[in-house]
């Protein structure tokens, strides 16, 4: 009788132990499923930091290749978001590429990463090929004292159709700051000269926040203004002479009839510059040139090394092929021109 009771007790113990094990396993499975579901919901709402935490919680409960891949992917998306907020687009593209190509990644995040990569890549392309060439030209003109040319280059950037987009806020701020200083100098005003002419990337930190030069006192402002005005006029005349000479040299390469332009007089240089920037008697404005660069960029043509004169020469060539509007330009026009 005693042996029978002992046997029953032992059996009951093992049954209880088995039941507890099954219960713990079931609880772990439920927790894993819950955390993974919460992570997916957060990722779908683009709350990648929360998503990363939930996927990591799931991985702590049950380490699987899926939970690890999802956590890594959410982490890459979180980092990309932060870099975009800081306008670090090149770094963001690297994180987005990792997220979009993550093995065993969550399909929703994969699609989000691919879509955002396409957007940021286009932004970076605009900055590199459209904005920075104009910004560089504006900075160099400012350095040479040609403030009118600086203002015009800045206006071309501010006229770009996409410049008011959220990813271009830093660029727009920098360009407006440069334009404001150039316009003030053009008008002979006494301003803080905090423009860094060595920094030619429009997406870098705003010079206004990194340079704090003191202003001159009110008692000397009048004399300083007169001195600056005289200096600006002198610099502007020098820069105009240099620009006319450069335009003459560009014309000598563009047309065989001007093969001796490097040695031509100032009068001939000015004449060549004015006529070279006209099509059918109409002067081609800076805005039209910028729009033409944008159209060619959309066709996959890099015009960053093209001078404004070369853009006008292309427009003239395209017009000879019957394409007289910007949106009618084709790759064939580029091939014919080159």
Q: DSSP letter string over 89-151? A: HHHHHHHHHHHHT-TT--HHHHHHHHHHHHHHHHHHHHIIIIIHHHHHHHHHHHHTT-HHHHH
Count of other CB atoms within 10 angstroms of residue 199: 15
211 backbone φψ class: left, alpha, beta (φ>0; ψ -120 to 50) = beta
- Residue 197's pLDDT is what? 81
d(CA 198, CA 181): 16
d(CA 66, CA 78): 18
Please provide residue 168's backbone torsions phi and psi, each rounded to the nearest 5 degrees: -110, 15
Q: For residues 276-298, b (16+ Cβ closer than 10 Å) or e, as one string?
A: bbebeeeebebebbbbbbbbbbe
d(CA 103, CA 44): 18
d(CA 256, CA 276): 13
Question: One digit per residue, pLDDT tens: the chain, 338 residues?
Answer: 455 566 555 665 555 555 545 545 567 789 999 999 999 999 999 999 999 999 999 999 999 999 999 999 999 999 999 999 999 999 999 999 999 999 999 999 999 999 999 999 999 999 999 999 999 999 999 989 898 999 999 999 999 999 999 999 999 999 999 999 999 988 888 877 778 888 889 888 765 444 433 333 333 444 444 434 444 444 444 434 444 433 333 333 333 333 333 433 333 433 444 456 778 767 788 778 888 888 888 888 888 888 888 888 889 888 888 888 888 889 888 888 87
- How many residues belong to the chain? 338
Nearest residue to 193 via CA among 178, 173, 176: 178
Nearest residue to 139 via CA among 211, 209, 200: 200
- Asked whether the beta carbons of 74 and 51 are under 8 A apart, the reply is yes
Q: What is the DSSP letter of 279?
A: E
- The pTM for the full model equals 0.56
d(CA 126, CA 294): 8
**Whole-Å CA distances, 188 to 185, 212, 221:** 5, 21, 11
d(CA 65, CA 70): 9
Give the H or E element holding residue 278. strand 278-279
d(CA 143, CA 247): 19
- Residue 221's pLDDT is what? 40
Could you report how far apart the first and last alpha carbons of the chain are, in Å?
A: 107
Structure tokens at 107: 């399909």
- Asked whether the beta carbons of 58 and 32 are under 8 A apart, the reply is yes
Q: Distance of alpha carbon 43 from its chain centroid, rounded? A: 26
Rg, C-alpha atoms of the chain:
32
Instruction: Kindly tell me the burial class for residue 2, based on how many C-beta atoms sit within 10 Å of its own C-beta (0-12, 13-18, 19 or more).
Output: exposed
**Domain boundaries defined on the chain:** 28-122, 128-187, 283-336
């Amino acid at each position: 009788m005693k042996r029978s009771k002992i046997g029953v007790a032992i059996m009951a113990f093992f049954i209880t132990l088995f039941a507890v094990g099954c219960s713990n396993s079931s609880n772990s499975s439920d927790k894993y499923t819950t955390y993974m579901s919460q992570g997916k919901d957060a990722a779908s709402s683009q709350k990648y930091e929360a998503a990363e935490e939930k996927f990591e919680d799931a991985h702590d409960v049950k380490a699987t290749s899926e939970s690890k891949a999802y956590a890594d992917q959410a982490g890459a998306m979180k980092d990309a978001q932060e870099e975009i907020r800081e306008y670090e687009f090149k770094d963001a593209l690297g994180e987005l590429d990792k997220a979009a190509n993550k093995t065993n990644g969550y399909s929703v995040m994969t699609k989000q990463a691919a879509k955002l990569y396409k957007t940021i890549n286009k932004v970076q392309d605009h900055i590199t090929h459209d904005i920075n060439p104009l910004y560089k030209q504006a900075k160099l003109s400012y350095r040479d004292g040609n403030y009118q040319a600086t203002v015009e280059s800045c206006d071309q950037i501010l006229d770009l159709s996409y410049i008011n987009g959220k990813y271009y806020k830093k660029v727009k701020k920098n360009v407006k700051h440069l334009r404001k200083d150039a316009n003030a100098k053009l008008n002979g005003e006494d301003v803080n000269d905090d423009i860094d002419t060595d920094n030619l990337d429009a997406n870098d930190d705003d010079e206004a926040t990194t340079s704090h030069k003191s202003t001159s006192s009110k008692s000397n402002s009048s004399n300083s203004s007169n001195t600056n005005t005289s200096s600006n006029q002198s610099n502007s005349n020098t820069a105009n002479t240099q620009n006319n000479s450069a335009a003459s040299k560009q014309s000598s390469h563009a047309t065989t009839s001007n093969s001796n332009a490097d040695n031509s007089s100032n009068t001939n240089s000015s004449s060549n510059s004015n006529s070279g920037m006209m099509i059918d008697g109409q002067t081609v404005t800076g805005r039209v040139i910028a729009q033409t660069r944008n159209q060619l960029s959309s066709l996959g043509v890099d015009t960053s090394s093209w001078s404004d004169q070369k853009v006008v020469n292309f427009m003239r060539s395209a017009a000879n092929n019957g394409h007289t509007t910007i949106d009618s330009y084709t790759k064939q026009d580029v091939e014919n021109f080159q």
